[in-house]
A and B are shown apart, each in its own frame.
Chain A
Amino acid sequence: MKTNDVILQFTAKIVFFMIFFYAVHIFFAGHYTPGGGFVGGLVTASAIVLLIIAFDIKTVQSIIPINYIYLVAVGLIIAGATAAFSMIMGKPFFTHYFDYFNLPILGKTSLHTAALFDLGVYLVVVGVTMTIIQTIGEDE
């Protein structure tokens, strides 16, 4: 007999976006307040895990068709390339650059290459967490 978890599934659909946007908020807030790529990645992964609990692994894979192992590799490449970029500019490895820009809607904003490094960390954390959970979950 199949249990009817309509309440769980309906709540998950709404709560997923709340958690996901909270994760994005944490990710961008990392420079001035507690947060950053690692926590942001974990919270994102927990949002996806909520979907997996409410539905099942195959459904979630068709909703978010990402190969998480490749996501880890892409994250590593972004982080590594950000760090190595300064080598091309003739500065020591891992030198970051930042400046203030006047963006159309947001106004005066500081953009920093450390955010790109954090994006790499974010992708690696999401990828690793999801790989672990998926491989254990699919294991018979």
Chain B
Amino acid sequence: MNNFLLLPVLIPFFFGMFLIFNQKRLAYQRITVMLGLILAIISATALVFKVYQDGPQTVTFGSWPAPFGITMVSDMVSALLVLTTLVLAFFIVWYGFESIGKERERFFYYPGVMFIITGVNGAFTTGDIFNLFVFFEVLLMASYLLIVLGGEKAQLRESIKYILVNVLSSAFFVITVAFLYSVVGTLSMADISLKIAEINQPGIITVIAVMFLMVFGMKAAIFPLYFWLPSAYSAPPIPVLALFGALLTKVGVYAIMRTYTLFFTHDLAYTHELLLILSIVTIIAGCIGALAHFDVKQIIIYNIVIAVGVILFGVAQMNQIGLEGAMFYLVHDMIIKAALFMLVGIVIYVTGTTNLRKMGGLMKTYPALGWFYLIAAFGLAGVPPLSGFVGKLLIVQGGFQAGNIWTSILILASSLVVLLSVMRIFIYAFWGEQGQVSKQVNKTVYHRMFFPTMLLVLVSIFYGVGTEWITPLMEEAAKILVEPSIYTDAVMKGGN
């Protein structure tokens, strides 16, 4: 019995409701949203420490005994992701003050952000498979609002595709849960894990595992199902894009990670081999996309696809090191993608174009922007003192340990492509002749956009340099992923 772990979900929810009032008063909206996020960050930080000290926290709604009520579980994996989500939301909302536009701010932008955070945090925290579906819908509904808000032509066109794909995958989710329920007869994730272990994963469970991979793969954009992502993500304005790029696909990755380490662990030769192959092809497809485009947004968007592949490769190894690397890389990627989208947003703001060929020579006029972009780009590629290094190192180490030599080398090679793709932005936009410059650049607006971005890049630097402090948390997280019995014990015995 411990309601504390609900606070990072409930605080954004309640503040979202209060934000529905007083739409036209921007001061009220901005102050309330920031206050809510700060409170949520404080509670999430405290939660991480509590989970670190006392082990996984659980609460089953309505005082029902464990498998019969909805259980919310906060282990190290979800506590870390919840904290990351809130910190990113804080910086992105701050960045959005100057760039989202007053019309959007006056039309339910902030409630939309708060509800998307509620959904993401709830999906990270829930311990019930159908509740996971509900939280997926909460975050998707809010994302439908944010993707179409503003009503530009491109947004309308892309939101149709986005909604269509997600409605389809949600329907598949329900069907898959129905299949699973008809086999195991329970919805609590801990109980499902125990029941599947009891019947030792017959063929039908493997089929369900692949269906789950399809459902979550559509949300997370893995290889054959990533087709909707590049065009859909190019439509919304930059703060919304940063929110989507940092959070939404990662919820799908988390769901794959959770189901493939908790439920489907008895037929690794099939399910995890499939995951491995798909993750490799995802990386290749993402690399091709990232190199093919001359549009700054598209380059970063395809880097999302690459990162999803890398994380899932770590998950597919199913050993302590690989999963620890996957956790490291997941948190790193959320931070760095948000930072990169914010940086690219500033580049678009000062040049007035997304086309790389038209840019150039920004280093003379905006040196700080250039250097911070360079740091973020190196961080993304995984240059040693920065944040992407440890995660990828551990993932590759896990790959070698599991005997996947060639595919691990391919992961290393993909880092070069990632580096090339983001350095191309640096070379084209910051070096060379003076390119196109937007007419209406306002210095104060630029500084107000740059400041939160700078802080976020500093957070990512700290994440890379302070690996020593973060490692115990990540080890804890990996231990739970490797050893599902810790999770099931916490839920089934640790309840009231």
Interface string of A2-45 (1 = CB under 8 A from B): 00000000000000000000000000000000000000000000
Interface string of B12-28 (1 = CB under 8 A from A): 01100110110000000
A interface bracket (residues with beta carbon within 8 Å of B): 10 to 19
Q: A80-B13, A84-B10, A87-B3 are in contact. Are A92 and B20 (CB under 8 A)?
A: no
Is A92 within 8 A of B63, CB to CB? yes
Interface string of A70-98 (1 = CB under 8 A from B): 10110011001000100100011111100
Is B13 within 8 A of A92, CB to CB? no
A52 at the interface (CB under 8 A from B): no
Contacts of A50 in B (CB 8 A): none
Majority secondary structure, B binding face: helix
Cβ contact of B20, chosen from A70, A80, A84, A91, cutoff 8 A? A70
Q: How far is the CA of A91 from the CA of B6 in the complex (A)?
A: 13
Q: How far is the CA of A42 from the CA of B72 in the complex (A)?
A: 31
Q: A80-B13, A91-B1, A93-B6 are in contact. Are A69 and B20 (CB under 8 A)?
A: yes
Majority secondary structure, A binding face: helix
Q: How far is the CA of A20 from the CA of B60 in the complex (A)?
A: 37
Is B1 within 8 A of A92, CB to CB? yes
Q: How far is the CA of A72 from the CA of B19 in the complex (A)?
A: 12
- What residue in chain A is nearest B70 (Cβ atoms)? A94
Contacts of B60 in A (CB 8 A): 92
B137 to chain A minimum Cβ distance, whole angstroms, is 15
Contacts of A92 in B (CB 8 A): 1, 3, 59-63, 496
Contacts of B63 in A (CB 8 A): 91-92, 95
Contacts of B72 in A (CB 8 A): 93
Is A80 within 8 A of B17, CB to CB? yes
Q: A87-B3, A91-B1 are in contact. Are A96 and B62 (CB under 8 A)?
A: yes
Interface string of A54-79 (1 = CB under 8 A from B): 00000000000000011011001100
- What residue in chain B is nearest A81 (Cβ atoms)? B14
B491 to chain A minimum Cβ distance, whole angstroms, is 13
B interface bracket (residues with beta carbon within 8 Å of A): 10 to 19
A19 to chain B minimum Cβ distance, whole angstroms, is 28
Q: A91-B1, A92-B1, A92-B496 are in contact. Are A76 and B62 (CB under 8 A)?
A: no
Is A80 within 8 A of B62, CB to CB? no
Q: How far is the CA of A95 from the CA of B72 in the complex (A)?
A: 14
Is B62 within 8 A of A94, CB to CB? yes
Contacts of A69 in B (CB 8 A): 20
Is B14 within 8 A of A93, CB to CB? no
Contacts of B61 in A (CB 8 A): 92-95
B168 to chain A minimum Cβ distance, whole angstroms, is 23
Contacts of B59 in A (CB 8 A): 92-93
Q: How far is the CA of A84 from the CA of B63 in the complex (A)?
A: 13
Q: How far is the CA of A69 from the CA of B13 in the complex (A)?
A: 16
B442 to chain A minimum Cβ distance, whole angstroms, is 33
A53 to chain B minimum Cβ distance, whole angstroms, is 28
Contacts of B10 in A (CB 8 A): 80, 84, 93
Q: How far is the CA of A73 from the CA of B496 in the complex (A)?
A: 33
Is B1 within 8 A of A73, CB to CB? no
Considering the complex, which residues of chain B in the window 1-53 have a beta carbon less than 8 Å from any beta carbon of chain A?
1, 3, 6, 10, 13-14, 17-18, 20-21
A88 to chain B minimum Cβ distance, whole angstroms, is 9
Contacts of A96 in B (CB 8 A): 62
Q: How far is the CA of A91 from the CA of B1 in the complex (A)?
A: 7
Q: How far is the CA of A94 from the CA of B63 in the complex (A)?
A: 8
B372 to chain A minimum Cβ distance, whole angstroms, is 39
Is B20 within 8 A of A72, CB to CB? yes
Is A77 within 8 A of B17, CB to CB? yes
A6 to chain B minimum Cβ distance, whole angstroms, is 40
B156 to chain A minimum Cβ distance, whole angstroms, is 15
Closest 5 CB pairs between A and B?
Answer: A73-B20, A94-B61, A94-B62, A87-B3, A95-B63
A-B contact pairs, 18 of them (CB 8 A): A69-B20, A73-B18, A73-B20, A73-B21, A77-B18, A80-B14, A84-B10, A87-B6, A91-B63, A92-B1, A92-B60, A92-B62, A92-B496, A93-B6, A93-B59, A93-B62, A95-B62, A96-B62
Chain B residues in contact with chain A, CB under 8 A? Answer: 1, 3, 6, 10, 13-14, 17-18, 20-21, 59-63, 72, 496
Given A87-B3, A93-B10, A93-B59, 10 other A-B residues pairs in contact with their CB atoms under 8 A: A69-B20, A72-B20, A73-B21, A76-B17, A77-B18, A80-B17, A92-B60, A92-B63, A93-B72, A95-B61
